[in-house]
Amino acid sequence: MRMPWSRQTGLAKAATIFSVLLLVSTGLCGANILLFSHFGAVSGGTTEPPRSAGLSMVIMSTGFAEMIGMLVGGCGLIAAIIAAAIRAIAQRISRKDDS
């Protein structure tokens, strides 16, 4: 299987990797929310059937890992965009100095 970043280099490769990380983490977080709403133990109401506290802890732990993945992917993508903008500005300035 060919990865989407196999032919890219530098900032394009970083932006692709971070955007894939952000998209995958977001999708898994959505699936995790559905799992927790069905299997998670929520304190309160007595009309709900008893649910496993251990399973809830596993689902919550994976949810935190997914949130960290979303944070890393988002911050990395923003950093790649800022670095690309700085590089473009620096190249434009250096072209003006050469003229």
**27, pLDDT greater than 60:** yes
Mean pLDDT of 59-86: 93
For residue 59, name the pLDDT band (cuts at 50, 70, 90). confident
Mean pLDDT of 30-51: 71
Residue 47 has a pLDDT of 60
Residue of higher predicted confidence among 7 and 25: 25
Identify the CA nearest to 32 among candidates 62, 57, 55: 62
Prediction pTM value: 0.75
Residue 6 has a pLDDT of 74
Residue 48 has a pLDDT of 61
Domain boundaries, the chain: 11-41+50-98
Label residues 52-77 b or e (16+ Cβ within 10 Å = b): eeeebeebeebbeebeebbeebbebb
Q: Distance from first CA to last CA of the chain, Å, rounded?
A: 47
